[in-house]
Amino acid sequence: MMAMNMQTQTDFDVVVVGGGAVGVMLALSLQRLNYRVAVIEQRAPCFHSSNPERVVALNYGSRCYLEALGLWDAVLATGLGDIRHIVVSEPGNRGQFDLHAGPSDVRAGQSASADMDALGYVVEMGALLEPMYQALHDSDIALISPACVESYTVADDGAQVSIQLRRGNERSILTAALLVGADGSFSQIRMMAGIGSYGWDHNRFGLVASIRCEHGHSNMAHECFRSSGPLAFLPLADGRFSIVWAATPAEATALLAMDDEAFMTALQRAAGEPTIKRLGAIVDVSRRASFALELSIAKSFNQARMVLVGNAAHTIHPVAGQGMNLGFRDVQALVEVLEAARKQQQNGYCDPGQAILLQAYSENRRADVAAVAGFTESMLHVFGSAMPGMKWLRGLGLAQLGNVPILADLLLKQASGVGQIPDHLAVELESKRGDKQPVEKQTWRRKHERA
Ligand SMILES: Cc1cc2nc3c(=O)[nH]c(=O)nc-3n(C[C@H](O)[C@H](O)[C@H](O)COP(=O)(O)OP(=O)(O)OC[C@H]3O[C@@H](n4cnc5c(N)ncnc54)[C@H](O)[C@@H]3O)c2cc1C
């Protein structure tokens, strides 16, 4: 049997299948641990702005990780929408709840912290991926694209995995110590491994578009909970909003078919009067696109010499804007497990595909994924309920949330990802930033320790 720290001859230490943001971030992180890494991506990379823009709201925790990898400044340079305020409301209900980053001069409400400049950062997918791919090109990581995996097999002695690749008409085989499935919600790697998933189809489509409103956005995001599903407005760098509108299949079909005028009228009605009063009339809309919404959590995040990250492991409803943030935390967790194991090896090499390490990663991720998915599903359930009295209770709950500091703090912690920043990352960033800007996790802790 092979000794634990003996290195088997493979083409790569780690092969990551899927060159989305999660897969590329993992590849860049693993290279910092001196692993030989390859990324297999089925599409040729493209960073052009799409119409409608496909955006994600990154939280403070994700920003910190991008900063540690030296990518944040480049992402920032492409233009971000800062979310400094979030207004949660239910059209037709008077109660609403406001969250603010830093001391707010806009309205009374809950303040996240004097030091955190934003509750979230809205970035276009291409703008996030471009600096990541630039860093990938500048590194020794092998990018194999366009290409896809046809199958994979684990060697009889369990020491390595062989990956059968196809590029056009060409077929080839790569060997690695670890195969990572970072290939999104419809993960081929997960299917090849025969791993099923828990969850359900929400029977809703997430309709996305970019809109311009009369009054601009003042760095404010809005989350309007309608009985058929939430409608989110995320501020973009150029003063417009990106919207995600959860709609029933019939509603979504009708909304996609409408002309722009009819769509803007329908959107104003759906957002409700108080929200539209703040935004002003909707004056422009981009093209529209839609995504099926589902909850899907893989029954297992690992198997022999294989591990799942990002949407390949878990796809959640975008209502809380947490899918990408969860994926980035998968990356951090896997890297942390491997780094800790490597420190214990005398020759400095740690076999990244050891079952015990992959199991440790999976255990670490289960609780976080379950908590975020549970929180997201319960929000949908509470706001989707038509039980008598529920609407009144929701209004009361929204109005009172701001008066219960523990609950408001919990929400802020969850939304910003502050509570999940690992200690070593906080320390690394504090030393990078110097005295100018302490890492929020430390500040947050100090405040609460003093209280
Ligand atoms: C409408 C909407 C709004 C959202 N808003 C937010 C938000 O505000 N904040 C947030 O955190 N999250 C948000 N999310 C979730 C977020 O977009 C996802 O969690 C994130 O994109 C997952 O990244 P990933 O890299 O795991 O997967 P993907 O982005 O799906 O990337 C997978 C990659 O794998 C490649 N691939 C697939 N199959 C193969 C194969 N067989 N071989 C090789 N390559 C393959 C694909 O081409 C792709 O490049 C939103 C999602 C939706 C639908």
**Structure-model confidence comparison of residues 322 and 20, the more confident one:** 20
User: Which residues make beta-bridge pairs with 143?
Assistant: 39
Using the mean position of ligand 1's atoms as its centre, give its distance from the Cα of residue 311 in Å.
6
Mean residue pLDDT of the chain comes to 84
What residues line ligand 1, using a CB cutoff of 6 Å? 17-23, 40-43, 56-57, 148-149, 182-184, 188, 206, 208, 244, 291, 310-311, 318, 321-325, 327
Mention every residue, 6+ apart, whose C-beta is less than 8 A from residue 344. 350
Q: How many angstroms does the Cα of residue 20 sit away from the middle of ligand 1? A: 6
For residue 258, the model assigns a pLDDT of 96
Least confident of 179-193, 272-286, 426-440: 426-440
What residues contact residue 436 under an 8 Å CB cut-off, 6+ apart?
none
Q: Write out pLDDT tens, residues 128-182.
A: 999 999 999 999 999 999 999 999 999 999 999 999 999 999 999 999 999 999 9
Top pLDDT among 436 and 72 is at: 72
Count CA atoms closer than 13 A to 212's CA, side-chain side: 7
Among protein residues, the one whose CA lies closest to atom 29 of ligand 1? 20
Pull the structure tokens for residue 193. 């491994």
Q: Which residue's CA is the nearest one to ligand 1's atom 51?
A: 318
**Is the pLDDT at 406 greater than 70, yes or no?**
no
* DSSP result, 222-233: EEEEETTEEEEE
pLDDT tens across 114-131, in order? Answer: 456 788 999 999 999 999
Residue nearest to atom 31 of ligand 1 (CA): 20
Question: C-alpha 343: how far from its chain's center?
Answer: 29
Q: Ligand 1, atom 39: nearest CA belongs to which residue?
A: 183
For the CA of 311, the nearest atom of ligand 1 = 26
Tokens (6 digits) for 120: 């979230």
Percent pLDDT > 90 in the chain is: 59
* Torsion sign (Cα): 130, 172, 38, 23: positive
Closest CA to 213 of 205, 222, 204: 222
Task: Please give the number of the atom of ligand 1 that sits closest to the Cα of 206.
Answer: 1
Burial class (CB in 10 A: 0-12, 13-18, 19+), 347: exposed
- Report in angstroms the alpha-carbon separations of 32 from 79, 141, 252, 285: 27, 11, 44, 43
Query: From the CA of 18, how far away is ligand 1's center (Å)?
Result: 9
Q: Which pLDDT belongs to residue 400? A: 60
CA of 419 to the centre of ligand 1 (A): 24
User: How many angstroms separate the alpha carbon of residue 210 from the centre of ligand 1?
Assistant: 19
CA 315 to ligand 1: nearest atom:
19
Which residue from 42, 191, 243, 334 has its CB within 8 A of the most atoms of ligand 1, so it is best to mutate? 42
Best of 22, 208, 324 for a ligand 1 pocket test (most atoms within 8 Å of beta carbon): 324
Atom of ligand 1 nearest to the CA of 57: 8
> Which ligand 1 atom is nearest residue 183's CA?
34
In the chain, DSSP finds a helix count (H) and a strand count (E) of: 14, 21
Query: Terminus-to-terminus CA distance in the chain, angstroms?
Result: 55
What is the β-pairing status of strands 197-213 and 289-298? antiparallel
**Angstrom distance (rounded) from CA 167 to CA 176:** 18
* Residue 113 pLDDT level (bands cut at 50, 70, 90): very low
Q: Which of 109, 56, 54 is nearest to 83 (CA)?
A: 56
Which amino acid belongs to residue 269?
A: R
The structure tokens 């670490």 sit at 364
Return the exposure string of 122-134: e unless at least 16 CB atoms fall within 10 Å of the residue's CB, then b.
Answer: bbbbbbbbbbbbe
Question: pLDDT band for position 104 (50/70/90)?
Answer: very low
- Taking 50 as the threshold, does the pLDDT of residue 110 lie above it? no
Domains of the chain, each with CATH number or no CATH: 12-58+124-197+298-385 (3.50.50.60), 80-121+199-293 (3.30.9.10)
Q: For position 445, what pLDDT does the model report? A: 35
Note the pLDDT of residue 410: 62
* 29: pLDDT strictly greater than 90: yes
Which of 15, 16, 22, 319 is the pocket-test mutation for ligand 1 (most atoms within 8 Å of CB)? 22
% residues pLDDT > 70 (the chain): 80
- According to the model, what pLDDT value does residue 289 have? 94
230 touches 383 (CB < 8 A): yes
Highest mean pLDDT among 10-14, 271-275, 319-323: 10-14
Q: Taking a C-beta distance cutoff of 8 angstroms, is the pair 416, 119 a contact? A: yes
Question: What is the 8-class DSSP label of residue 235?
Answer: E
**DSSP code at position 107:** S
The model's pTM is: 0.87
Alpha helices in 118-248 (DSSP H): 125-137, 188-192
Q: Copy the structure tokens of residue 304.
A: 């022999």
Distances (CA, A) of 443 to 59, 66, 75, 115, 415: 17, 19, 24, 8, 17
What is the distance between the alpha carbons of residues 2 and 203, in angstroms, rounded to a whole number? 49
Task: Find out whether 416 and 113 touch, Cβ atoms under 8 Å.
Answer: no
For ligand 1, atom 20: residue with the closest CA: 324
Q: Three-state DSSP class for 415?
A: helix
Q: Which range is least confidently modeled, 50-59, 62-71, 408-417? A: 408-417
pLDDT at 317: 85
Burial class from Cβ neighbours inside 10 Å (0-12, 13-18, 19+) for residue 237 reads: middle
Q: Does residue 420 carry a pLDDT above 90? A: no
The answer to whether 104 touches 113, Cβ cutoff 8 Å, is: no
Closest protein CA for atom 26 of ligand 1: 310
